[in-house]
């Protein structure tokens, strides 16, 4: 790469605009550390006149991002639009084909098209870096690719979504409703641009677990049918009951090699308040890897927000400015294999089950009979009556049981005159 490096930023939302400002204010520092002189020569976004946190140079603004490459020589493109397909995919493919290095925080794009894009980058001998796509400011991808590179990793898991961790923690601390706390998270720039649903339903964490899994196990990004659940059904009531039991709700992403098969999942878990993961609160993310011979490693840091995300984007920039061409997934695309998926039916956990029922004779025995039919053993039972309304909340903690048993057990609990809502299920972790 030449001494003068031309940069384009496409997407000027909360992340893009923060990055723009960081690049300008750190220009000198980057030059001292890398010997390269960086210049932002093109920027692009949907709306040129939108009110932004930092002033932009409108002289270098392009309404059509594809036009940039026709008019300017670009060395590095930052894609911060955030779509899994559409213009994000188009611009990244276009840039790689034109032998432009690409840096992106876009986990939806990488989780869906990462294999193809990595191949394209390798073919054109440019870099495709995506450190900011997983766990915000935590340098986990580089740690796996470089720091832990010779270890055999067999498990990677943790808290991978800042928005949901913030919401769960803030609900517990402030007793505020889900909706109120979500608004706060959006104001802080934690939630996905335009669509917080992707954070809440587990999709965002799932995209991250797929990327982590591919990197950790040197595999292709899996297309397996997995258990993906978000926090939409978790109520303040569950958080309070859990707290009385010494537990806390966390949305965990887990990828593991079990008997040479790949298991990946994202779902809310109840963890002990005394555990490490139970104390990773607010916007914090934590990623835990288990490998040989290194053992367990833990990385914790802010998982969302423009500041931490920019930190990772700049770390990708430094890596490109300082180094050679690297494989996007640590090894050549040709060497990455697919492995057989683990059968989700055999996934086994203790369960927290909350039933909202009419306080009537026979309702509890209906539940316990059904549990026994599927050989699910009760460990603990807590019934809280609401005398005035002749209702009751029943919380059952079970011993370990398999997913298939849980599914069959739950299948009859449709809403009816005695069962007032479909039961809430939260799995206990370890």
Q: Tell me which residues touch ligand HSE (CB under 6 A).
A: 136, 161-163, 190-192, 199, 204, 303-304
H/E run at residue 28: helix 27-34
> Six-digit token pair at 95?
């840039």
Residue 121 CB, nearest distance to ligand HSE (Å)?
21
Q: Which is nearer to ligand HSE, 38 or 191 (CB)?
A: 191
Return d(Cα 352, Cα 250) in angstroms, integer: 13
Cα 145 → chain centroid: 18
The three-state secondary structure class of 63 is coil
* Residues in the chain, total: 430
Residue 133 CB, nearest distance to ligand HSE (Å)?
7
Measuring CA to CA, how many Å separate 379 from each of 75, 225, 337, 353, 376? 60, 30, 42, 12, 10
Q: Which is nearer to ligand HSE, 162 or 301 (CB)?
A: 162
> Six-digit token pair at 297?
């490693």
Angle (deg, nearest 10), helices 203-217 and 107-124: 40
Catalytic: 259? no
Measuring CA to CA, how many Å separate 385 from each of 53, 235, 239, 353? 51, 18, 18, 16
Instruction: Provide the Cα torsion 322, 326, 330, 335; round to 10°.
Output: -170
Residue 381 CB, nearest distance to ligand HSE (Å)?
35
Q: Which of 89, 107, 145, 208 is catalytic?
A: 208
Q: Which is nearer to ligand HSE, 65 or 202 (CB)?
A: 202
Return d(Cα 316, Cα 390) in angstroms, integer: 59
Return d(Cα 117, Cα 108) in angstroms, integer: 13
Main-chain dihedrals φ then ψ at residue 37, nearest 5 degrees:
-105, 105
Q: What is the DSSP letter of 222?
A: P
Residue 191 CB, nearest distance to ligand HSE (Å)?
5
Q: Which is nearer to ligand HSE, 139 or 303 (CB)?
A: 303
Residue 283 CB, nearest distance to ligand HSE (Å)?
8
Residue 18 CB, nearest distance to ligand HSE (Å)?
12
Return d(Cα 157, Cα 256) in angstroms, integer: 8
Q: What angle do CA 15, 20, 21 make, to 5 degrees?
A: 100
> Six-digit token pair at 241?
């009951």
Q: Which is nearer to ligand HSE, 129 or 192 (CB)?
A: 192
Burial 416-427 (b: 16+ CB within 10 A, else e): eeebeeebbbbb
Residue 316 CB, nearest distance to ligand HSE (Å)?
14
Measuring CA to CA, how many Å separate 223 from each of 149, 201, 219, 226? 24, 18, 11, 9
Q: Which is nearer to ligand HSE, 22 or 204 (CB)?
A: 204
Q: Which is nearer to ligand HSE, 204 or 264 (CB)?
A: 204
Q: What is the DSSP letter of 376?
A: P
Q: Mind telling me the catalytic residues?
A: 208
């Amino acid at each position: 790469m030449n001494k003068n490096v031309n940069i384009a930023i496409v997407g000027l939302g909360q992340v893009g605009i923060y990055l723009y400002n960081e690049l300008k204010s750190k220009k000198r520092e980057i030059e001292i550390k890398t010997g390269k002189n960086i210049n932002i020569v093109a920027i692009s976004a949907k709306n040129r006149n939108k009110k932004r946190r930092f002033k932009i140079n409108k002289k270098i603004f392009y309404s059509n991002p594809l036009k940039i490459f026709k008019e300017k020589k670009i060395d590095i493109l930052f894609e911060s639009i955030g779509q899994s397909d559409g213009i994000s995919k188009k611009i990244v493919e276009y840039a790689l084909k034109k032998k432009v290095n690409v840096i992106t925080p876009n986990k939806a794009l990488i989780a869906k098209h990462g294999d193809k894009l990595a191949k394209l980058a390798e073919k054109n001998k440019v870099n495709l870096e995506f450190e900011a796509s997983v766990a915000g400011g935590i340098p986990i991808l580089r740690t796996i690719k470089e720091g832990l590179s010779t270890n055999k990793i067999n498990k990677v898991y943790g808290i991978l979504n800042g928005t949901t961790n913030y919401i769960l923690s803030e609900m517990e601390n402030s007793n505020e409703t889900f909706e109120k706390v979500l608004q706060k998270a959006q104001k802080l720039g934690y939630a996905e641009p335009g669509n917080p649903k992707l954070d809440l339903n587990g999709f965002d964490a799932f995209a991250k677990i797929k990327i982590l899994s591919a990197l950790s196990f040197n595999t292709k990004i899996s297309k397996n049918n997995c258990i993906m659940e978000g926090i939409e059904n978790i109520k303040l009531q569950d958080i309070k009951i859990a707290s009385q039991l010494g537990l806390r709700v966390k949305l965990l992403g887990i990828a593991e090699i079990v008997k040479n098969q790949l298991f990946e999942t994202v779902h809310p878990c109840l963890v002990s308040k005394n555990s490490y993961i139970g104390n990773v609160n607010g916007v914090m993310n934590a990623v835990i890897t288990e490998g040989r011979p290194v053992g367990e490693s833990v990385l914790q840091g802010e998982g969302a927000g423009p500041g931490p995300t920019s930190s990772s984007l700049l770390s990708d920039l430094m890596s490109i400015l300082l180094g050679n061409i690297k494989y996007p997934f640590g090894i050549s695309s040709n060497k990455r294999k697919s492995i057989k998926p683990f059968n989700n039916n055999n996934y086994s956990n203790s369960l927290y089950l909350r039933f909202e029922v009419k306080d009537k004779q026979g309702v509890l025995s209906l539940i316990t009979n059904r549990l026994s039919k599927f050989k699910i053993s009760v460990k603990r039972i807590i019934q809280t009556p609401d005398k005035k309304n002749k209702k009751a909340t029943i919380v059952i903690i079970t011993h370990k049981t398999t997913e298939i048993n849980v599914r069959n057990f739950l299948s009859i609990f449709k809403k009816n005159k005695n069962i007032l809502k479909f039961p809430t299920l939260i799995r206990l972790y370890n």
